[in-house]
Amino acid sequence: MAVVRQSGAGTRRVFLLGLTSGGVYFAGTLYWLVETMTTFGGMAMALAAFAAALLVAYLSLFPAAFAVILARVHRRIGPRAILLAPALWVTSELGRQYLWDGFPWALLGYSQVTILPIVQLASILGVYGLSALLALTSTAAAFLVVDRTRMRWVVAAGTAAGVAGTVLWGTARLRDSSLLTKGEPVRVAVVQGNILQQDKWNPAMADAITERYIGMTRQAMAQGATFILWPESSTPFYFEQDIVRGGAIRRLAQEGKATLLIGSDQIEPVAKSVAVNSKEKLYNAAFLVKPDGSVGAVYRKMHLVPFGEYVPLQRLLFFVGPIVEFPPFTPGTEPTLLPVGVHQASTAVCYEVIYPDLIRRFVRDGSELLTTITNDAWYGRSSAAYQHWDQASMRAVEEGRYLARAANTGVSGFVDPYGRVIERTALFVPAMPIRDIRFIRERTAYSRIGDLVAWVSLALTAAALLASRPRSPIH
């Protein structure tokens, strides 16, 4: 019994240490949630802080689980259990993507997005591969301290060789940059209208907002842009419902013989055959307007923002409701591609660009150009807008595609298939970057194998848990 109590106390301590570490990390990363909920959601400071704390506490459970599992395996096999830490850590990040509603924000691997020789590894193993590499370097350093055998030097040397090999290979890939000459060029413009959040749905501002976007689009057309992106929810009206303003956008496409990608909400009416108490469905959508003025495709956002577009566990978290401006959105179900001439593009709306499996699905289905449209006005001048930009940039490297990003208040711009920033705007200024980029059909290794490193990590974690089960006493 004494041993059981000691083991239980040790597990609780490990859990609390992991929870505390996670709390520090996520509170420091997601501090902007409080400002978002108070400034734009109209919540009282105390309620906003409580709601943010709940999310931080939930996310902190994953580092806590990592710590508990590692400690359990350590008790079973000793110091060498630490060599499983990279797999356990990646498994915890995979859990953040798939469990509950999923929130894979600020994974460890994203820290390397500006370290171009290192980030090239994402073209093979994705962001989870980068997380594994970083966890491995920390593991090797820790193993030097806790192990007393010759194996610690083998691990250290192997890790150093792996990092050096990654840098050398990444540098060579950057030097080659063969994707920059592949495919067909297209002149793309991203329109950053810089409409403040409090003005977006003000009826008195509807005409002025529409005129701003139309005027900037005409300027882009005059500079030769043939594919022009407006941000998420850029129209202060329902594109399909407003015949006058929607018609003006259609005529604009015809006038400039250009393809327009318009962020606008969509209402799906309830069929007469459906029960009278059924409600219309509201989608956060992107409309592809072809050069002849017709709608070529409609993409409906598939990954909705918790507490922004719907409230998970709404009966329990009823007090968070005010942050959602409209009735809750309905998630889309199809990764619809966008026809741009004879080519196919794709778009991710807002934060769903942080789901690597979704973007890979677009490319697997034939997307030759990645786009993402967003309204980051919610983040104010916090670091969230830059975090969002960096995570979107990772998708360009993973898939070997150019990325065009249109954000209402910034950051907007372009990233090449190797993660180089071609152009990036400042926050809260009107801007209209225009660049010649390319449709690319070549596939990266990552686009073919996906998050294999993450699933292998999950399998190793499961095996470690099975191997560390307490043995039944033999009678």
pLDDT at residue 273, rounded to an integer: 47
Distance between first and last Cα of the chain: 18
- What is the residue range of 417's domain? 184-441
Contact 233, 284 (CB under 8 A): yes
Looking at the structure, tell me whether residues 168 and 205 fall in a common domain. Answer: no
H or E element that contains 456: helix 452-467
Determine how β-strand 403-407 pairs with β-strand 369-374.
parallel
pLDDT at residue 147, rounded to an integer: 92
Looking at the structure, tell me whether residues 398 and 316 fall in a common domain. Answer: yes
Looking at the structure, tell me whether residues 90 and 193 fall in a common domain. Answer: no
pLDDT at residue 340, rounded to an integer: 98
pLDDT at residue 448, rounded to an integer: 98
Task: Give which of 372, 374, 425, 427 is closest to 402, Cα–Cα.
Answer: 372
Active site residues: 232, 301, 350
pLDDT at residue 466, rounded to an integer: 93
309-to-70, 384, 418 alpha-carbon distances in Å:
36, 17, 32
pLDDT at residue 258, rounded to an integer: 98
**In total, how many domains does the chain have?**
2
Q: Which residues of 74-85 are buried (b: 16+ CB within 10 A; e: fewer)?
A: beeeebbbbbbb
pTM value is 0.93
pLDDT at residue 4, rounded to an integer: 34
pLDDT beneath 70, residues of the chain: 1-9, 270-278, 307-308, 311-327, 471-475
Considering the domain boundaries, does residue 447 fall inside one? no
Considering the domain boundaries, does residue 314 fall inside one? yes
pLDDT at residue 178, rounded to an integer: 98
Considering the domain boundaries, does residue 379 fall inside one? yes
Residues 332, 175: Cα–Cα separation, whole Å: 40
Considering the domain boundaries, does residue 473 fall inside one? no
Q: How many residues does this entry show for the chain?
A: 475
pLDDT at residue 61, rounded to an integer: 97
Looking at the structure, tell me whether residues 224 and 116 fall in a common domain. Answer: no
Encoded amino acid at 34, one letter: V
Considering the domain boundaries, does residue 474 fall inside one? no
254-to-250, 359, 371 alpha-carbon distances in Å:
7, 30, 22
